[in-house]
Structure 1
Amino acid sequence: MPLPWTDPIRWIFFDLGETLIDESEAINESIRQFVSGAEEIGFRFSPEQVKHGVREAYRQFSGFPMRTVMERLIPTEDLREQVRRSMKYRKDLERPFPDSLPLLAALSRRHKLGIIANQGPGTLERIARYGFAPYFKVVCASAEAGMAKPDPLFFRMGLEQAGCPPEQAVMIGDRIDNDIVPAKRLGMRAIWVKQGYACEQPLPEGPDRPDAIVSRIGELLPLLLGPAQ
């Protein structure tokens, strides 16, 4: 059965990274680059040590977990900058989760879909490459918008472009701090997808709590449309 509050929902907004797009290989490559760059200036860390730090940063709701790890492990900004110069985030290693396209195709037959995501330049080109573009009527990406989650103005931008009041929209994302809490405080519904490093973030109580929780994106369809959609 679909969730009881889905009847008035007109718009479904998605985050991208670790929600529709698997960033695990790109993140692991960033960790490898960090370990290598740190070693070049005399600091030795294992990938497992850095991954543990990233998980802990997510649990503590760090806005920029990798930056937080670097600040904890490398003592000065000059040294951190040396490491950063040896690093480049590999967008080419990102891949759509296998369930993403079938999910978007099914949902788009009944709802309008949008994106509210913290992304670097070129989001429209990337979603076209992944096959997502035909399904999205609104795309709000931070690099182009000049603002980022969890800023409520960023969510309002998406809602205004959609012409949709918050109570008729749901936000789906992997982060409690960036996706769930700001959406709930605006009056949207919110579904937490526990994928990626943010899956260990503490679950809030009260009105900030997500309306539903799934462990992977493929579990959303029966919750939103019912069985056999």
Structure 2
Amino acid sequence: MIRAVVFDIGETLVRDDRYWGSWADWLGVPRHTMSALVGAVTALGLDNAEAIRMIRPGIDLQAAYREREHSGRGEFLDETDLYPDVRDSLQTLQRMGLRVCIAGNQTAKAGSLLRGLNLPVNAIATSGEWGVAKPDAAFFDRVIKLAGVAPGETLYVGDHPVNDVVPAKEAGLTSCLIRRGPWGLLWGNDMAVPADLRIAGLADLPALLSSLGRNDGRSEKL
């Protein structure tokens, strides 16, 4: 039985348009160039930060991040960055009696920005706050503590097979692959990805869990 749902952030709850667009502007390249490079590294199975390194080889990403912040052109997100189905879906899951949390590979600032949106969730955490990032097993140890229930009773929802689905399952969690964003759409229909559930959008999830009686939904898909 699923008693808690924990969500990834980028391309699960939040569109990455602003993030990559701001990097393109900072690096002085057209936004479509950045998008194409992100797509290329995605297809190659590389870390998406490689798109930035292709534009500026040898860049110190942490130093560049600090420089952007100090210049007033740093990280930002607001309600318009959320996918349209996010707020209603999270609220519906809470009304179903589930514990709803957010935990993803984001900076500490992103965590603060997300909390500022007053989303209907029980807890929000980021890798920057925890000091450990996906796909490290220690990240999912923290997810289990955040969820507050047994691993098998926790559903982790994300768009990335390597960062989300596989390590979540290795930690004993039930996994859900959402088919949106470049990673989710590229691999969403690949049955070699061992997701327990597959959804096209968050609005699918409450009904799916209800139809399963919140029981183990392995191999179910939408």
Q: TM-score, normalised by structure 2?
A: 0.78
Task: Tell me how large the CA RMSD over aligned residues is.
Answer: 3.0
Partner of 2:194: 209
Partner of 1:126: 113
User: CA offsets, 1:75-98, max 9 Å, x none?
Assistant: x42699998767954423662222
Aligned mates of 2:126, 2:61 — CA distance in 1: 27
Aligned mates of 2:115, 2:146 — CA distance in 1: 20
1:146 CA drift (Å): 0.6
Paired residue secondary structure (1:77): coil
Aligned mates of 2:74, 2:113 — CA distance in 1: 15
Partner of 1:50: 34
Partner of 1:33: 26
**Kindly tell me: are residues 24 and 218 of structure 1, through their superposed partners in 2, closer, same or farther at Cα, counting changes over 3 Å?**
farther
Aligned mates of 1:194, 1:89 — CA distance in 2: 29
Contact 2:147 2:154 in 1 (8 A): no
**Kindly tell me: are residues 97 and 152 of structure 1, through their superposed partners in 2, closer, same or farther at Cα, counting changes over 3 Å?**
same
Gap regions ≥5 residues in structure 2: 213-222
Q: TM-score, normalised by structure 1?
A: 0.75
Q: Which of 1, 5, 26 matches 1:12? A: 5
Gap regions ≥5 residues in structure 1: 1-7, 37-44
Give the % identical residues: 21
Q: Which of 177, 180, 204 matches 2:165? A: 180
Paired residue secondary structure (2:45): coil
Partner of 2:208: 223
Per chain length, whose mean CA-contact separation is higher, i.e. which structure has more relative contact order (CA < 8 Å, sep 6+)? 1
User: CA offsets, 1:71-121, max 9 Å, x none?
Assistant: 3344x4269999876795442366222211111111012211122211112
Partner of 2:92: 106
**Kindly tell me: are residues 33 and 122 of structure 1, through their superposed partners in 2, closer, same or farther at Cα, counting changes over 3 Å?**
closer
State the AA in 2 paired with 1:100. Answer: V
Partner of 1:39: none
User: CA offsets, 1:17-55, max 9 Å, x none?
Assistant: 221122323322322333x1xxxxxxxx65433322111
Paired residue secondary structure (1:135): coil
Q: Which moved more, 1:194-203 or 1:151-160?
A: 194-203
Tell me which structure has the larger Cα radius of gyration: 1
Aligned mates of 1:89, 1:214 — CA distance in 2: 32
